[in-house]
Amino acid sequence: MTGAALRLEVIVGSVRAGRFAPTVAEWFLRTVGADPRFDTGVIDLAEYPLPLDLAENDAVRAFRGRLAAADAFVLVTSEYNHGYPAALKTAIDSAKHEWRGKPVGFVSYGGVSGGLRAVEQLRQVVAEVHMVSVRESVSFHRVKRQFDAAGQTADGAAIDGAARMLGQLAWWGLALRTARADEPYPG
């Protein structure tokens, strides 16, 4: 890869009390932290009080600033009732231009489906804000059985999926960063 490391923002989508999101997100952050292609930050929506009515406030402006500076995103999402968390939809809807022309990957978790139904819905939503979703994703079915007490996993499919997804995010991230620098995105 040529040029500076890509700025990757990992967005933790669940804000529920007792959520498992921190375990999944921390595992992924350790994984991507070992990859020199990325300079990684984390936006935990539990720490960003984004208003449900999509009003403008300091938290929204700070959130948008983080998005604008990013080259790529990973959404860490749970699956609740066959869908993704409302806080994640509010986050997506709280910005517009900041998402455009940037790649996004998904790390999902849940019960039997591993959050894949949430991801399929999110793919439709991110397309509407002009993001490019990469093909590979990470999914943890029966998530609490997939991690040990130290927050590690032996789930080979997830480990492999993370490596493949990061490769695709790096490729798309560099290509789209170069394209945005050459000509503003026309959306």
Nearest to 107 by CA among 147, 71, 67, 158: 158
Average pLDDT, the chain: 96
pTM, full prediction: 0.96
Examine residue 187 and state whether it is found in any structural domain, yes or no. Answer: no
Examine residue 161 and state whether it is found in any structural domain, yes or no. Answer: yes
Examine residue 137 and state whether it is found in any structural domain, yes or no. Answer: yes
Examine residue 120 and state whether it is found in any structural domain, yes or no. Answer: yes
Examine residue 62 and state whether it is found in any structural domain, yes or no. Answer: yes
Count: domains in the chain: 1
Examine residue 77 and state whether it is found in any structural domain, yes or no. Answer: yes
Domain that holds residue 96: 6-182
Exposed/middle/buried for residue 139 (C-beta within 10 Å: 0-12, 13-18, 19+): buried
Residue 127: count other Cβ atoms within 10 Å of its Cβ. Answer: 12
- Write the pLDDT tens digit of every residue in 77-115: 999 999 999 999 999 999 999 999 999 999 999 999 999
Examine residue 1 and state whether it is found in any structural domain, yes or no. Answer: no
Give the residue ranges of DSSP H helices in 70-184: 86-93, 116-128, 156-182
Examine residue 176 and state whether it is found in any structural domain, yes or no. Answer: yes
- Write the pLDDT tens digit of every residue in 121-140: 999 999 999 999 999 999 99
- Write the pLDDT tens digit of every residue in 62-78: 999 999 999 999 999 99
Residue 154: count other Cβ atoms within 10 Å of its Cβ. Answer: 9
Cβ partners under 8 Å of residue 169, min gap 6: 6, 8, 38, 72, 74, 103, 105, 134
Cβ partners under 8 Å of residue 103, min gap 6: 72, 73, 131, 132, 133, 134, 168, 169, 172, 173, 176
* Cβ(82)–Cβ(111) below 8 Å: no
Confidence of residue 49 (pLDDT cuts 50, 70, 90): confident
Find the CATH number of the domain harbouring 42: 3.40.50.360
- Inform me whether the pLDDT recorded for 2 exceeds 70: no
Torsion angles phi and psi, residue 74, rounded to 5: -130, 130
pLDDT in the model for residue 27: 97
